[in-house]
Structure 1
């Protein structure tokens, strides 16, 4: 009962509005409405494909929308050209056609996983596998060629309509999106510095801070691509984002209560400075706030926040990542594309499941179940948790879309005889689908599936459709495809991510240890640590979704609970180590030697934890307590003790 309540609460949270969501839904619905009008008026086939192109191309801002649209145009062109070439060469040789299509499909799935341009190869794989079903239901070569060429037209003209709507009618500018995100982060920092009713600051907030920091840098990159003023003043905007990121991370480590008047005064001054920055961005003016002085502040976190603000306003360098960092390895493939066997196994499993579905499709001679092969590709995701999530979303979206389509076909379409009447019925479904699709990754694909299933049943013909068997056949194809894909990905070399999570946690601890031993005067950069922490939390959420039907009862729950406990312990270690790094930089000169000895001992403990997570050390062997000199500040000694306790708690899991 509690689990179902938690799922319902998460669903309600995912459906809540956020800044920019209404705009994205309006852009999607407007483009879809124009596409429906044009396709129905000019009788352009494959309306469902046109609508799905609109949904995929419409993104959070105009820059991403344009990039995605260009990639989809290239993908559709390459896919259609390959399909026509394949049919031209192998039309009279079915075995050669199937073997060649399988080879292209295998290569496309491999590149979908290993190339930054994976969306291009995803579209190629979809068109290649779907074109085989067209050949099997028609012996007329000209009809098949015309159908494939209409696929190119339906996708590309819909992308053109989408780009026009997003550029001219309702543009979502990344600059406005970035400024809203900055204001939201400043609000979080200001609330964290409240003295009257201090909020609790759990360690788990650090993962959200990492995600927020990533989002800010991504939006800044899009803003410099879109806005000339941002390009000219890139360094100034980058310094502001870096300052905000440091303040946001440090805010996660603030104490619940400020102990001394100096600390309370510093917190108030920092809060006023953040509020001044907030008002300046909101009103488009320059700010000149009263800056806090680092002298006299006892709390290390507040002292660092004061230092970050002073560095920003006095023009000092704030640590930040390069905005357009060059990636290592090939521009076309990830560094381990050829050495990591996971990618090859993933492509082979996806091909095997698609061929099994193709065998069932041709053996049963059931054309309406062509969704069986598409399902195998759509649910193919890296990691069992991702596969399971895609299965749930595809099944739930298809079921809801089918129910809506059945209701329309039985009760409403018999009374609808005009395009305007059809639009009045279709627009609410498009709005619902767009709202769900604009949500977080945990629900977004369900919105696309609702729209696609509904449009296949209701909008594929140019007159009212009363065929209930079409809805039934597509649901059957989806369910059978889900069963086959799930069995293949779970039984054959399952890509479970528990071991990956342990290695990422070990890498995170090693990053924290390196921060303890940075050179004197070198600033402490929180971004890579918080980013890695956010990635570990996302990985843990995927592990929770991994299917457990092929294991002993309750075994997956036990493993997940242990992994989740390890994640929380590592987060605690990270936060205590971060605070220790801040305190060590502020040690008086007379305590430097004792502090170095303590840091060396802490480094040994962190190395032990790293090796234990990787299974390289004996869990029974532990060092004794860390010897702490009375000369060291009380807060420093307390943080060292809490760090050691956090490491010991890790071993007890």
Structure 2
């Protein structure tokens, strides 16, 4: 399902902001860790859904199979919990629809009014609450259920229509739970695999500096971010003990530190390690990775380097070697929190307070008009499509109504940027679906053949959808169009008219959403960029002050992921229509601010891990943030280290000097021509 207004964008992708070319698309379609496993699970759940809908003859099997794509996550716990939660919510919503139906089934005007009101309410919650993963699906089910009431007479037929609406969602949920319990990996296993992959990347970078730079950067930005969530889920399902969970959180922190140090060794010539030292460290890292991949974690690790081997290195290389060795020796042993000064403690309390979990609604649920506007815009597009096919008496294009809930996005930039992917995905799915109707379906003689066809189509679609965010939307649209073409009833069907009408409906729905979201209350992504940048500096300040009980290395992993998300937001701004698009100078300033944050992130993170509350690190942070519009109010002297807490001052000085060097190197780039001059809004 498309992201609502308040949901964060996906991490930045190496394909670049302008969109991948032919070579880039092939690269994005390549294998990724866990992609084959997740793709196979999605295809199996979709095939099982079609088997059940065919056996019982429930309508709208295509939508049921398509819903599977939104109910799967990398681990089994998230997938099962989300599926069960969605079933409970949908049951409650169907009960609400039944009550509404009793009062409106004989009055078409009242039925349309209730469709509008309930749709807007659920979409508001989609944008302004924790209902966002399934809220749009609920709104679609409500609309579909009330629409079916208009086709059925009073009494038992209307009740049966609502039951079918419930089954349309309950069947894929049941199939998804069964497949995930049988095939999906545990969150504990996923966390171990991801951490092991990070250690192997660090080992490769030490052996051959700069050889794995893109993969290592991607791992730092987005690869380690899910691990903390997986560990919490592992606690929830009882697959780890509290002691193991604490140790694994420290493993995440240590792995982040190791990756940062390895990246520094590969990026900075002055930080390069001699071959013998690098090989010793890399061998130890690979042995540790093997333990993590096998399901355990290493403890009581012997130092791979003797003190004499490190003593003769240049200052920056010695800093890298010392960081690596200390992170490895204390790999799974949570270190005690250093004691900062009183001012730093105040920052810690502030940081802890800001990290408290909120309630069901977002803090700005009733103050930010974006949530209400998102609900009204999506509802307006959907109701326009509903009235269109109702007035034209063309029920075959009813998919335009469903499409509005599937593809609605929060900001204009996202809407325009994803439009090409949606249209391209629809075309590809329609071609595959039509080809299957012409060449494959006539040869099918049993339900088994149809299931095999659905599995193949779902697998290809899921391979695209579960990959890079640069092409994921296309995968979802391929699946939608393909299912609507080939699933025409409880048995194999090959009516090309049905396929044609459904594809036309998809295109009409896409066009309606595009026009509404770019013309009515268009939402620029600029405001979220400034808010994210401001919060990024504040979180770095809290980290440097030693805030929070969580291991600092784990906090760094989250901060690096947020920097990737910020880069994606800035890249999306170029797709906005001329009326709301930020000026070139504005975008150049934000790119420069992000460049400064990325330039100092690695050394600052190493300083935060070893010397929390260091005044020199905080001063560098102020210098980097001071060049950014909307910089946080960092008060001079607010965070200082307690006297006597500093050790290895030469290593610290090397890292501070590196930050100074990088800040000097990050210079403002000349702003390009103002994109407002170009009339082309959509990417090419």
**Deviations 1:89-142 (Å, cap 9, x if unpaired)?**
112233332222222111100101122132343222101222343344455664
- CA spacing shift, 1:329–1:100, aligned 2, 3 Å: farther
- CA spacing shift, 1:641–1:42, aligned 2, 3 Å: closer
For 1:239, the equivalent position in structure 2 comes to: 250
Q: 1:263, 1:389 → 2: CA distance?
A: 46
The alignment status of 1:184 with 2:194, answered yes or no, reads no
- How does the TM-score come out when normalised to structure 1? 0.82
Equivalent of residue 329 in structure 2, options 310, 314, 317? 310
The alignment status of 1:251 with 2:262, answered yes or no, reads yes
- How does the TM-score come out when normalised to structure 2? 0.79
For 1:44, the equivalent position in structure 2 comes to: 58
3-state SS of the aligned residue for 1:253?
helix
Residues 606, 647 of structure 1: 8 Å contact kept: no
**Deviations 1:441-477 (Å, cap 9, x if unpaired)?**
3333433433333333322323443432222222222
Of structures 1 and 2, the larger Rg is shown by 1
For 2:530, the equivalent position in structure 1 comes to: 502
The alignment status of 1:537 with 2:527, answered yes or no, reads no
Equivalent of residue 126 in structure 1, options 140, 144, 157? 140
Residues 357, 481 of structure 1: 8 Å contact kept: yes
- CA spacing shift, 1:33–1:377, aligned 2, 3 Å: closer
**Deviations 1:361-387 (Å, cap 9, x if unpaired)?**
333222112122222222222222333
Q: 1:77, 1:523 → 2: CA distance?
A: 38
**Deviations 1:501-536 (Å, cap 9, x if unpaired)?**
2342344345445666669xx999354455234224
The alignment status of 1:13 with 2:27, answered yes or no, reads yes
- CA spacing shift, 1:403–1:561, aligned 2, 3 Å: farther
- CA spacing shift, 1:475–1:50, aligned 2, 3 Å: closer
3-state SS of the aligned residue for 1:333?
coil
Q: 1:464, 1:514 → 2: CA distance?
A: 60
**Deviations 1:544-578 (Å, cap 9, x if unpaired)?**
34575742899888866664454334312434555
Alignment of 1:143-222 (within 5 A): 143-168=157-182, 170-194=183-207, 197-199=208-210, 206=217, 208-222=219-233
Equivalent of residue 349 in structure 1, options 377, 384, 388? 377
3-state SS of the aligned residue for 1:240?
helix
For 1:645, the equivalent position in structure 2 comes to: 664
- CA spacing shift, 1:381–1:206, aligned 2, 3 Å: same
Alignment of 1:83-482 (within 5 A): 83-138=97-152, 142-168=156-182, 170-194=183-207, 197-199=208-210, 206=217, 208-231=219-242, 233-254=244-265, 256=267, 267-282=278-293, 288-291=300-303, 292=305, 296=311, 298-299=315-316, 300-312=319-331, 316-317=335-336, 328=356, 330-482=358-510
Q: 1:21, 1:451 → 2: CA distance?
A: 17
Q: 1:492, 1:547 → 2: CA distance?
A: 19
Q: 2:667, 2:271 → 1: CA distance?
A: 32
The alignment status of 1:605 with 2:605, answered yes or no, reads no
- CA spacing shift, 1:117–1:268, aligned 2, 3 Å: same
- CA spacing shift, 1:244–1:490, aligned 2, 3 Å: same
The alignment status of 1:26 with 2:53, answered yes or no, reads no
Q: 1:152, 1:599 → 2: CA distance?
A: 57
Paired residues in the alignment total 622
Greater CA drift, 407-416 or 472-481: 407-416
For 1:621, the equivalent position in structure 2 comes to: none
3-state SS of the aligned residue for 2:21?
helix
Higher relative contact order (CA 8 A, sep 6+): 2
- CA spacing shift, 1:649–1:152, aligned 2, 3 Å: same
Gaps of 5+ in 1: 587-594, 617-630
Residues 263, 302 of structure 1: 8 Å contact kept: no
3-state SS of the aligned residue for 1:336?
coil
3-state SS of the aligned residue for 2:627?
helix
1:73 Cα deviation (Å)?
0.9
Residues 308, 318 of structure 1: 8 Å contact kept: no
Q: CA RMSD in A?
A: 4.1
1:422 Cα deviation (Å)?
3.0
Q: 2:588, 2:297 → 1: CA distance?
A: 50
1:646 Cα deviation (Å)?
4.4
- CA spacing shift, 1:609–1:21, aligned 2, 3 Å: same
1:43 Cα deviation (Å)?
2.3
Q: 2:269, 2:570 → 1: CA distance?
A: 39
1:63 Cα deviation (Å)?
0.8
- CA spacing shift, 1:41–1:492, aligned 2, 3 Å: closer
Gaps of 5+ in 2: 1-15, 339-347, 635-648, 673-684
The alignment status of 1:568 with 2:595, answered yes or no, reads yes
1:601 Cα deviation (Å)?
6.1
Q: 2:109, 2:671 → 1: CA distance?
A: 59
